[in-house]
Amino acid sequence: MANIKISEQKVLQIEAICKEFNNEKGELINVLHKTQSLVGYLPAEVQEIISKNLNCSVAHVYGVVTFYSFFTMIPKGQFPISICMGTACYVRGAEKVLDEFKRILNVPVGQTTPDGKFSLSCLRCVGACGLAPVVMVGEKVYGRVSPDGVKDIIKEYKQA
């Protein structure tokens, strides 16, 4: 059993989310979506709380969490950076942009910088293919990003 380290209040909120979906096992994915937007990620302890409330095994919850790329067990950075790796962005040089982010932030894909500021991930097509290659920081979309432009994007958030 993982130690419950999140606040009592968060636990109550998660339980309320489960209840909102009638503690129905079939609603697991909806519950996970809501919980992730509340907590930011889905660590083991959170999965245990959900499994208890929906009356299913932790293994089942874990199986679903790890199946879908949208769910994460690692906390995202304050500014999550996603590089679009859809085909359109790929052929217009997204890989070089990703390499530059990796080099400057010094973290691999799927990880967060030690100061918790940036996390780096890849996603498949945001559908802004006209602006390829595309990078998203939080909700903001940056289009036609070149490797040279990477440091300017990071700079924008470094001070924040």
Partner 1 sequence: MTQFKMHLLVCGGTGCRASESEKLFHNLKHEILEKGLENEVQVITTGCFGFCEKGPIVKVMPDNTFYTQVKPEDAMEIIAEHVIKGRQVHRLLYVNPETEKHVADSKHMGFYRKQLRIALRNCGFIDPENIEEYISRDGYAALAKCLTEMTPAQVIEEMKKSGLRGRGGGGFPTGLKWEITSKSQSDQKYVVCNADEGDPGAFMDRSILEGDPHSVIEAMAICGYCIGASKGIVYIRAEYPLAVERLKIAMKQSVEFGLLGKNIFGTDFGFEIDIRYGAGAFVCGEETALIHSMEGLRGEPTIKPPFPSVSGYLEKPTNVNNVETFANVPVIINKGAEWFASIGSEKSKGTKVFALAGKINNVGLIEVPMGTTLRDIIFEIGGGIKDGKKFKAVQTGGPSGGCLTEKHLDIKIDFDSLTAAGSMMGSGGMIVLDEDDCMVSIAKFYLDFTVEESCGKCAPCRIGNKRLNEMLEKICDGKGTMKDLDLLRNLSHVIKDTSLCGLGQTSPNPVLSTMDNFYDEYLAHIVDHKCPSGQCKALLQYVIEAENCVGCTACARNCPVNAIAGERKGVHVIDQSTCIKCGACLEKCKFNAVFIK
Query: What residues line the site for partner 1 (CB under 8 A)?
Result: 24-30, 32-33, 63-64, 67-71, 85-88, 90-92, 123-132, 134, 141-143
Residue 9 CB, nearest approach to partner 1 (Å): 25
Contacts of range 53-58, beta carbons closer than 8 Å, 24 or more positions apart: 53/14, 53/15, 53/18, 53/19, 53/23, 54/18, 54/23, 54/24, 54/25, 54/27, 54/28, 55/23, 55/25, 56/25, 56/28
Residue 22 CB, nearest approach to partner 1 (Å): 12
Residue 67 CB, nearest approach to partner 1 (Å): 4
- Cβ proximity to partner 1: between 4 and 27 the closer is 27
- Cβ proximity to partner 1: between 19 and 68 the closer is 68
